Structure 1
Amino acid sequence: MNAHDYAIQANGSFALPDACFKVKALMEDESSCIEDFANVISVDPSMTSRLLQIANSAIYSFPGEVSTISRAITIIGTQAIYNMMLVDVAASAFKHFSNQAIDLKRFWRMSVFCGLATKNLSIKAGIRDIERLFVAGLLQNFGELIVAKVSPELAKTCENYDAEHLPWMVQQQTLGFTYTEISAELLKIWQIPEKIILPIRHYNEAQDIQINKDVKVLYLATRLALVDAHPDRFSYDDTIDESLCQSLGISTDDLNLAADFASQEAEHILSIMDAKHFTR
């Protein structure tokens, strides 16, 4: 099986709800209005509740309470609403997932941490549309969940990484490709915007793609997430290319602040998404 084969199999288990496709269609329709978006989202009480929780969370840090979908759309725009729906899909995947092949608590914390760190570093690097990059950070390793479901024994093998054999190296050796390649293929099937997919597909090649800030920022965030998950096994010196930090104008202090922010907020975001319930 190649990365696309895994994505095809996963699409049935981790499918986007119809509302996502309807919102995407409205985004492409210049005649659509805020009420059109609110009408699509509000028919799902669970999604409405969760979107409002996320809109009022530290991810967006609004100065006042966001109490309606219409207000959330007005404040953060339709792209951010669509991105938050993708976040909801990622969280909902755990409702139907039961597997001992990987450490689910570690997987989900790393995903949320990576999303938060990506957002923080994007601000430092002067990148706009940080909500899009939060989603890229959150979903970049979704392929791990897919392999754990489809090929649990291979997923267990891929868990055997250390400072000399980094996770993506073990994945490449075991599968012939990385988890992020599966993630990119699935998001392509979901018709996710290419701006989200591109950094996911290429961040492990960040040293060779010097022109794209998104790729570099996601690279740094994934390394911070790895150190956070395994502080006994990894350090910044093992995993982070200092030249990439310099090219973005990001200092060691900035990395530490991003990691502190992500660590502090991860548990809060996990509780919003009910991830603690899913990973116990």
Structure 2
Amino acid sequence: MADDTVYNGSGDDIAPEMLEAAKALLVKRYKYIKKPDESMKRLAWIGATHVARDMVASPERYAPVESGRVIPDVSPLDPLDILRQDHQLPALPQVFLELQQAISSESTSADDLAEIISQDPGLTAFLLRMVNSAFYSLPMQIDTISRAVTVVGVNQLSTLAVGTSVISLFKDIPEEVLDMEQFWKHSVACGLIARRLCRITGQGDPERAFVSGLLHDIGQLIMLQAEPERVAAVHAHARDKDTLLFAEEKNLLGFDHATLGGMLLRKWNFPFVLVAAVLEHHHPKISQKEAEPALVHCAETIATGLGIGSSGEFFVQPPNMDVWTSMGLTPERIDEMVEDLDEELEEAFQILIKQ
């Protein structure tokens, strides 16, 4: 991607040298974007200003990676071997299992769902915080789960409850390989952006889009739990070769985190649309009838292009241009996508991750 597409505007509140440093970094991150359209150029411009401000606030995140390291070889792995090791997978709480049954049943009522959720005080508290946040911007205060179900909808709230209840299963992962706060910021940002894309384009369902984005990199977490040293080596190889992380996973392991994540959600009996969104978030199928895989695919490109959080992937993934074009993204629409995103992200992050 040419230098002049990365930053091409003013940043009066940012020191010129910091803008130049951010621009140089963004040129590297956009390495695989070969023929950017005007919306991608606008994304890069906004990303440069966002990264420049983050460089000022958190310079330690941008320290150079040490060179000359000895990177161990990585042998292939069968993803089924990971999923067969039930003792290494997080234990699903009873409320999760009951929510799974509820979400797959057409006869689930508002009262049924409220009763299931109310069994878990933590889930109850954070769903109420979510419903009363800018995520919904409702005109009234919602003080009970029953009322929340009535206002938001049975399917919508059950999807949100199932998806967000997974987060608590992955809070003990060591941060030697991956900064978990940055990982979840990236994930929450993908969910919020997928939800915004859903509403702007009229494609898909907002809650399903959010949960799909939130969980799209869950395969990374399973890999980290099951094979932390192997994952660390794969990350090191990807950075050393300047290759896309998911491509290096497939090259060295024989599969990528999207495949493993989709397999895990299938094992957990998640709805097909959420499985497909996780499975296809790097390579959405053009024939896919559900919109969520395409929404998450584009949301990840946007979140990484803005430099929000990190899943361990350094580069902005090149989007499938048919899918990207189908979103009708223009520079103006990119502006609309990111308007007040930082504020919404911070509120959602505090509710979901810092609870």
Instruction: For 1:261 and 1:121, locate their aligned partners in 2 and report how far apart those are by CA, in whole Å.
Output: 14
Gaps of 5+ in 1: none
Given candidates 7, 11, 15, the residue that maps to 2:91 is 15
Gaps of 5+ in 2: 1-76
Q: Please tell me whether Structure 1 or Structure 2 has the larger radius of gyration of its CA atoms.
A: 2
Given candidates 61, 66, 73, the residue that maps to 2:149 is 73
Give the structure 2 partner of residue 169 of structure 1: 247
Instruction: For 1:203 and 1:98, locate their aligned partners in 2 and report how far apart those are by CA, in whole Å.
Output: 25
Given candidates 148, 155, 178, the residue that maps to 2:256 is 178
Give the structure 2 partner of residue 257 of structure 1: 336
Q: Contact between 1:4 and 1:186, CA under 8 Å: does it hold in 2?
A: no
Give the structure 2 partner of residue 114 of structure 1: 190
2:166 partner SS: helix
Per-residue CA deviation, residues 115-165 of structure 1 (Å, 9 max, x unaligned), is 111111111221242101111111010111111111112222333446951
Given candidates 52, 64, 73, the residue that maps to 2:128 is 52
Q: Cα–Cα, structure 1 residues 251 and 5, in superposed 2: closer, same or farther, change >3 Å?
A: farther
Q: Cα–Cα, structure 1 residues 139 and 229, in superposed 2: closer, same or farther, change >3 Å?
A: same
Deviates more, 1:86-95 or 1:60-69: 86-95
Given candidates 307, 314, 318, the residue that maps to 1:239 is 318
Q: Which has the higher helix share?
A: 1
Q: Contact between 1:157 and 1:174, CA under 8 Å: does it hold in 2?
A: no
Q: How many pairs does the alignment contain?
A: 273
Q: Contact between 1:209 and 1:215, CA under 8 Å: does it hold in 2?
A: no
Amino-acid identity (%)? 26
User: Partner amino acid for 2:330?
Assistant: S
Q: Contact between 1:114 and 1:225, CA under 8 Å: does it hold in 2?
A: yes
**Correspondence list, 1:1-280, <5 A:** 1-9=77-85, 13-29=89-105, 31-160=107-236, 161=238, 164-206=242-284, 208-209=286-287, 213-227=291-305, 228-229=307-308, 234=315, 239-275=318-354
Deviates more, 1:239-248 or 1:262-271: 239-248
Instruction: For 2:101 and 2:285, locate their aligned partners in 1 and report how far apart those are by CA, in whole Å.
Output: 36
Instruction: For 1:83 and 1:104, locate their aligned partners in 2 and report how far apart those are by CA, in whole Å.
Output: 24
User: Partner amino acid for 2:116?
Assistant: V
1:63 partner SS: coil
Aligned residues: CA RMSD: 2.7
User: Partner amino acid for 1:86?
Assistant: V
Deviates more, 1:204-213 or 1:82-91: 204-213
Q: Contact between 2:182 and 2:309, CA under 8 Å: does it hold in 1?
A: no
Per-residue CA deviation, residues 160-192 of structure 1 (Å, 9 max, x unaligned), is 446951221122123211111111111111111
* TM-score, structure 1 normalization: 0.85
Q: Contact between 1:125 and 1:250, CA under 8 Å: does it hold in 2?
A: no
Q: Contact between 1:114 and 1:262, CA under 8 Å: does it hold in 2?
A: no
Instruction: For 1:245 and 1:85, locate their aligned partners in 2 and report how far apart those are by CA, in whole Å.
Output: 29
Instruction: For 2:338 and 2:250, locate their aligned partners in 1 and report how far apart those are by CA, in whole Å.
Output: 27
Instruction: For 1:204 and 1:170, locate their aligned partners in 2 and report how far apart those are by CA, in whole Å.
Output: 13
Instruction: For 1:208 and 1:272, locate their aligned partners in 2 and report how far apart those are by CA, in whole Å.
Output: 35
User: Partner amino acid for 1:73?
Assistant: V
* TM-score, structure 2 normalization: 0.68
Instruction: For 2:216 and 2:184, locate their aligned partners in 1 and report how far apart those are by CA, in whole Å.
Output: 12
Q: Contact between 2:193 and 2:299, CA under 8 Å: does it hold in 1?
A: yes
Q: Contact between 2:149 and 2:157, CA under 8 Å: does it hold in 1?
A: yes
User: Partner amino acid for 1:266?
Assistant: L
Per-residue CA deviation, residues 59-103 of structure 1 (Å, 9 max, x unaligned), is 223222211100111111222222222343233124333341222
